[in-house]
Chains A and B, each alone.
Chain A
Amino acid sequence: MMKHFFFDKKLLLMIGLVLVLGSCRKSYLDINANPNLPTDENIVPELIFTQAAEATGAIHSPATWGFLDSWMGYIAANGDFARDQQQTSYNIDFSFSNGVWAAYYNTLFDLYQAKTKGLAKGDTAMAGAAMILSANLWQELVDAFGNIPYTDAFAVEGSPRPAYDEAKAIYESLQLTLDTAIEYMRTAPAPSFNFPATDIVNHGDQILWMKFANILKLRMLLRQSEVPGFDPSAELAKINNPENGGLPGPGESFSENPGYQNDVNKQNPTFASIGYTSAASPAKQSTSTGANIYITAILYSGLGGYGDPRTDRFWQLISGGVNANIYGDDPGNSYTGGSTSYYGPGLIGDPSNGVYTEGAKQDQWILPDYESLFMEAEAALRGWIDGDPQQLFETAVTRSFVFLKVPDAEVAAAAYIENTFFANWQQWQEWNGSSVESLADLIAIQKYIANCCIDPVESWNDEKRLNFLQLFSVEDTPLEYPIDQGFTYISANPSKISNTIPIRLLYPQSEYTTNSHVSDQGTINQFNSKLFWMP
């Protein structure tokens, strides 16, 4: 029986068939290469850089930091919408900062990929540019969260739970990163590889990139101005060394534009957030928010009581005025969406034939020139760099007018500076003294106004450093506009848990669930866990 079993020819044939089918197994199963998406084997690093540069711009649109526009008194919800309890009560939870954290690390990782993959092929210019953009983002992240994962970041194999670095050490490391980036930009041949075509920020202008790096270095130094015993001289020597490219001047704004169009998902991120949809209906954030009464009152107080010429650049006027709401107020007691002043043409571009479409194509700012000039004015004021602080300050104010496309900007700015006590170097000193502190506050105030809905992050950090906004609430402030009670940017929500705005964000929920190192940072309180550079 067994013999029969083993020598059946048909059985042997079947077994043979099984073996034959089995033997072609190897190549038959090698079909797992991804046909749908590029992988590390075929990705082109320039493509990552371009996207990351665009994302760096998008991160500076109100889509990411809109809550700071609210907290800083620029915008307020209109009467159509229920009060955002969490934001207006300052009672933020761990999920509040998820969006900021994710957006920053996501972009920083792509910049890291562009840097490492760029260096691997010798494209030091692109690597340097990625490092400069990432230094910008790292600093903003540190200023919002304090200690964060930095050294261990992006080493997913070795550190799936990256440790946290001291904020101060990150600042120091970023200075070194920027030094390296400047060196790359200085020594890379121009044009380097395909960099001019890849570079949607400075179009291959390596000198401009060096200036960008220098202003970021200066920004970190200024942030530490109130730290007792802080000595910036070593870094200043590098910034002031003309071989390193110098600091940005008027007209040297940093922005990006990959080719924005007025179409779904293709608009300038700011326009998409606070302008109009491609079908010309109000964009999401502009339907729920609009002008805040706080910034409106300040704008009305400028220029000898006739109003800041930038007012109708920041806001669309309704019946010749700005209809503004009180932040955190009860719904229904203020202007509704239809009657609240929307974001103006200085932010979202001028209308063409009455329709707002041009702003959809405009460049997305990363660091406007006026902001660099304000920083340079303060640095000059502190004797850190050469230059006349008053002149730098006035240039900065003028460049804000130009940036917002105020008609006849230079003339209008000159008149504004002449007639507005909180824009006038001399009048301010007469009222508030001529100390460095006093004039730093003046610079901060003008920077604050110029940055309305453009860079609330800088305004927030200046306020955390200099506490200058309280000057508007001083009783004898010679404000020209009759400001009545309630002149504050603090939320009107009776459930708010503090009369001051948060000075930092809490680490996001995702860190608590995925990274045990976050508990090393102890309990964070959004009002009193100070950043290392805060007074």
Chain B
Amino acid sequence: MKKILLLILLCAGFATDEAFAQSKLITGKITTDKGDPVPFATVTVKNSKNGVASDAQGVFSIKATAGEVLVISSTGFTSKEITVGSDNNITVTLTQVSSELTTVVVTTALGIQRQAKDLGYATTTINNKTLTQAKSVNIQQALNGKISGVNISTVNSGVFENAKINIRGIRSLTGNNQPMLVVDGAPTPLGYLSSIPPDDVASLTVLKSAASAAIYGPDAVNGVIVITTKRGTNQQQPVVTFSSSLQATNVSFFPKFQKEFGAGAGETVDAYGNYLYVPYENQQYGPRFDGSIKDIGVPLEDGSIQSGPYTNDHYKDKVKFWNTGLTWQNSVSVAVKDMYVSFEDAKIKGLVPDDVNHRTSLRFNGGKDFGKLSVNYSLNYVLNNFDVVNEAGFQNSFPSAYDGGLFFLIMQTPSNVPLLQYKDLNSKFGQFSNYYNEFAVNPYWLIANIRTKGRSDNLIGNVTADYKLASWLKATVRLSSNLSFGSGKNTNAPVVVSDWAVANRNATQYSNRPGAELDYENSASVINFDYFLSGERDFAKDFSFKYVVGGSIRESRYKEVIAGGNNLLIPNFYNIGVRSGDAVVGANGISDYRLIGAYADLGFSYKGWASVGFTGRNDWDSRLVQENRSFFYPTVSAALVLSDAFPSLKNNNLLSYLKVFGNVSKSGNVNLAPYSLQVTYSQPAGFPYGNTGGFTTNNTYPNQNLKPEFVNGKEVGIELGFLKNRINLNATYFTQKNTNQVLQISQSWATGFPFGLANAADFKNYGVEGDITLSPLVNVGKGRIDFKMNATYNNNKVISTLNNSPVIIGGSAGFIQNSVGSPTINNIAVVGLPAFAFQMTDYLRDPMGRVIVDGVTGMPSLSPELVVKGRSLPLWVMGFTPSYSVGDFSISMTWEYKGGHDFYSGLGSDEDFAGISKRSIEYGRQRFVFPNSSVYVGPKNAAGIPTEEGMADPKNFVANTDIQVQDGNYGFWTGGSSNTLIATNYFSSAAAWRLREVNISYNLPLKWIGGGKFIKRITISAIGKNLLLIAPKSNQWGDPEFNYSTTGNTFGLGSSFQSPASRLYGGALTVQF
């Protein structure tokens, strides 16, 4: 017994052996040369493993012995060394260099911190200040234009600000290309990125290459966004921060439209065949506005009819229809010893009237050291509530109407029509049955009656325990979990039409219909269990050795139930229980998979300036059959800090830093939904009929032998610092060969399966990215101007596909415009072309590329073959951030340019159909000679059709200079084969300059706020986002980044379901106590 007691004492003594040293507690504050605190700086005792971080106020405390040297470093500052003297309370001033090249610590895979100079791969870290300066409502909006290699596309301007993120282009043709998100070391679904309040983020690191992320396994193949949230401070006194911002939203880019012609579609014509005015038309091919008083709509039941001047007085109504939105964010956080608590509330009212998204977040981060054991945990609860118009549900209520979204309804409004007057749905002319338009519904009715309302509850939590087994070895276990519960209800109000309208108006619009509703509930959980050993150890005098070995287990589960009812029996009461007929049951399902990984990471470094690292990982994935389930992939990387290796380099006045690095990596990925290996059967719509069930074979032929995809990456880079790191440059060349791509390939219907799955394609993706930081660019008296710039050139090329057949990634089959038909347009992967090119309808052209017109009618025709051209992803993405600061005043802005790519606007075709487009008045609605056209004069067969040989011979075509189209009005512009079905008409450059952010902020002088005793700091700022969008003239339609789908790999396919592009501007206030 005594012996045991002795043993325990001995152990305890071991555990606290450092307590025997004559150390003392030193507290200090780290500030910038301007006196601002430097939060989260690293303070270490030189040549020891003893280190702490400063808190949000720059305050730290550390145990050290007199004579020891403290090294203080922080991202963006030159590090400083201070010898511990007698003073127990010190103030350290750091000089800002905005350099990421010096001894910066980067949070890498698994949350392990590494010195940036040791890394053989490219990373970018940005701090909280950069992230929050424009008070963006979510992180992806805040990252725009700031990081080389990162392309963020905002695909709609709605209240969700949906965005797609790609780091260094794409690595999978049809699978996931979005990066992995890691929050506080825990893998987290990327969707949370829009839920994490930017204020909670301490730092954000982007690991751009597979080499940097291989340890995370398959999900990291597209890069990783590593977020470290704020932690507690080291002092007892709490720091309270309150922040509030208010931003208004309005339309920043509206499609070009004509203001000269009113309604008419040829129902009535004059003696010369000119189209007369039709007061209830949705198509604007009527006569020119002439100022006379004209009817609007149809005579109502009481015989009255609305009338007004036939002018373009109300053209602005189409822009004014969109609301001034409002984004209001309030947050409060408390940082205290070992604990950080924050509460955030963001309310977003969109451009679309009545659309609202409301987010509330509560975070609780904490940690505690217990000798060798330390435990950290964080818990984040996010509640989202939204209530938005359900444009996609519109066609359920009007199945045969001119389908399309809200935008299309607005564009079907002639400019003499006082659209805004119809806002009151009870007013005489605003009520449903009396609406002027015979073929389009009052857009205000759509907003009020077809809605979706939902909420999601998200709980993200993780707990990490570290145990120091020895000075050179630490054991870590981390359990993290993301739970998400979503629920919502779509409601379609009954269409109630007066008896008079039923009897007298167009049945498509004016028929009574019962209400409908659809409920959904889903739950998702991802549970990760990571366990690893890590540490570092000096080998011999100059060698050090770092190592990680461990494993992870992940289980992802998803379940959804969808049920609803049509034919609701009680008006405006939306419950599945009050329907008649069968219930609607949606795609209910479960989707579970499991992944086990084992990995090791070894790094050697010599004298701190040469390092080499090896990583290997093996995965076992439940989504593949047993034989293919296990796959291994290695990585090797190296870095050389030449400026440290050759002191002669470092000590010259010009060059202060020079590093070269490179890596070769392979990483595997399973881009496959669970249960994809078997032929499945399902009941088609309608079944079961009572007791009679029936199943059809589903359309995809699966492949049992599917294997993982592999990304074979190479990367070389250089980092340079000049003039004591006032000028920093870095550049990285990367190339990735992506093999064994799992594709859903189209195959002949005659096989029974129009789609098949196969490891069927290879493509390469390559580019150069770089950053330039000039800090300061120039000093102006007390002020300074800084300048940052980043640029990415990224290209790719499809090397092979199965049988070299083109692969359609997505497109017009996925969206509906109007009932007359819309052009065929797809994103497509074609061997030899970039991923992705566009495939689309075009005019029939002669061998010289001129449009062939009919020799009599002058009309062009639709080519039976689709053309392939353009590219969907930008070749160039560039960001420019100049800033100026003087004293407590600072101003900064971020410009962004993307170019080299193209986009298609479905709204363009819809605009032409409606006769509202600027294009449609290019020839004053008169007959014209189709530009750059020709006429066929060659041989024809017995049926009068040009022969194939004839069509191939350029000699058979003569330039058309005088044959006008037979109808330069409705006939041409709404004709499918002459105009609206020709996708090339609505295809243009997607290049754009954007002023992404402007921030002007001012810290109130301390003397104004009582010398900082109670209130420590007040910052006020004016902010603007997406203030300008400058697009080439060829783009008449809208934001080229908008896309019909927020998921998947399609880009540059806009439709009329997206709202116009928007800008935000407003102000913010931050108070710190």
| Chain A residues engaging chain B, CB cutoff 8 angstroms | 8, 10-11, 14, 17-18, 21-22, 25-26, 28-41, 43-44, 47-48, 50-52, 54-55, 79-82, 84-86, 89, 91, 93-95, 101-102, 105-106, 109-110, 112-113, 148-149, 152-156, 159-162, 200, 258-261, 263-266, 277-284, 287-288, 330-332, 336-338, 494-495, 497-498, 506, 508-511, 513-516, 523, 525, 527-528
Contact = CB atoms under 8 A, between A and B. Distances in A.
Contacts of A44: 695
Interface stretch (B311-319, B587-595, B764-772): B587-595
Interface string B564-590: 001100000000000001101000111
Given A47-B693, A265-B685, A510-B746, A31 B592 contact: yes
A51 B687 contact: yes
Interface of B: 265-268, 399-400, 439, 469-470, 473, 475, 504-508, 511-514, 531, 533, 550-551, 553, 566-567, 581-582, 584, 588-590, 592-594, 596, 598, 620-623, 626, 629, 674-675, 677-687, 689-699, 701, 746-754, 756, 803, 805-806, 819-821, 824, 854, 857, 859, 861-862, 864-866, 941-945, 948, 974-978, 981
A510 B748 contact: yes
A149 B754 CA distance: 14
A160 B859 CA distance: 41
A344 B818 CA distance: 28
Contacts of A337: 506-508
Contacts of B677: 32
A29 B621 contact: yes
Contact of B533 (A14, A154, A265): A14
Contacts of A10: 469, 475
A264 B531 CA distance: 53
A161 B695 contact: no
B693 A40 contact: no
Contacts of B567: 263-264, 278-279
A259 B689 contact: yes
A18 B749 contact: no
A105 B622 CA distance: 34
8 contacts: A8-B470, A14-B475, A51-B694, A93-B864, A280-B511, A332-B268, A511-B748, A528-B943
A279 B748 contact: no
B692 A52 contact: no
A154 B945 contact: no
A32 B674 contact: yes
A48 B680 contact: no
Choose among A37, A40, A336 the residue with the greatest number of B CB atoms under 10 Å from its CB: A37
A287 B689 contact: no
Contacts of A26: 626
B27 to A, nearest CB: 35
Nearest to A18: B551
> Which 3 A-B pairs rank lowest in CB-CB distance, beginning with the nearest?
A51-B694, A281-B511, A259-B689
A514 B621 CA distance: 31
Given A17-B531, A22-B598, A156 B943 contact: no
Contacts of A497: 944-945
B974 A259 contact: no
Contact of B582 (A8, A263, A515): A263
A93 B862 contact: yes
Nearest to A112: B752
A110 B697 contact: yes
A336 B699 CA distance: 40
A279 B514 contact: yes
Given A29-B629, A102-B754, A160-B751, A259 B690 contact: yes
B751 A38 contact: no
B581 A48 contact: no
Contact of B751 (A47, A154, A495): A154
Interface of A is mostly: loop
A44 B469 CA distance: 59
Contacts of A494: 857
A266 B505 CA distance: 28
A180 to B, nearest CB: 21
B750 A152 contact: yes
Nearest to A1: B537
Contact of A153 (B508, B693, B750, B754): B750
B678 A40 contact: yes
B943 A281 contact: no
A527 B943 contact: yes
A333 to B, nearest CB: 8
A193 B976 CA distance: 53
B751 A153 contact: yes
A149 B748 contact: yes
B686 A29 contact: no
B664 to A, nearest CB: 27
Contacts of B594: 28-29, 31
A373 B819 CA distance: 40
B257 to A, nearest CB: 20
B943 A51 contact: no
Given A21-B551, A54-B686, A337-B508, 10 more contacts: A32-B675, A34-B680, A48-B681, A51-B683, A54-B687, A159-B751, A259-B690, A281-B511, A287-B508, A332-B266
A156 B622 contact: no
Contacts of B695: 38, 43-44, 47-48, 51
Given A29-B629, A258-B687, A514-B748, A50 B692 contact: yes
Nearest to A511: B748
A275 to B, nearest CB: 13
Nearest to B625: A32
A258 B581 contact: no
A152 B749 CA distance: 12
A85 B977 contact: yes
A316 B598 CA distance: 73
Contacts of B680: 34, 37-39
B514 A36 contact: no
A523 B948 contact: yes
Nearest to B623: A32
A47 B746 CA distance: 27
A266 B507 contact: no
A514 B752 CA distance: 13
B675 A82 contact: no
A108 B906 CA distance: 35
Given A40-B679, A154-B750, A282 B511 contact: yes
B550 to A, nearest CB: 8
A36 B588 CA distance: 8
Contact of A155 (B687, B751, B754, B865): B751
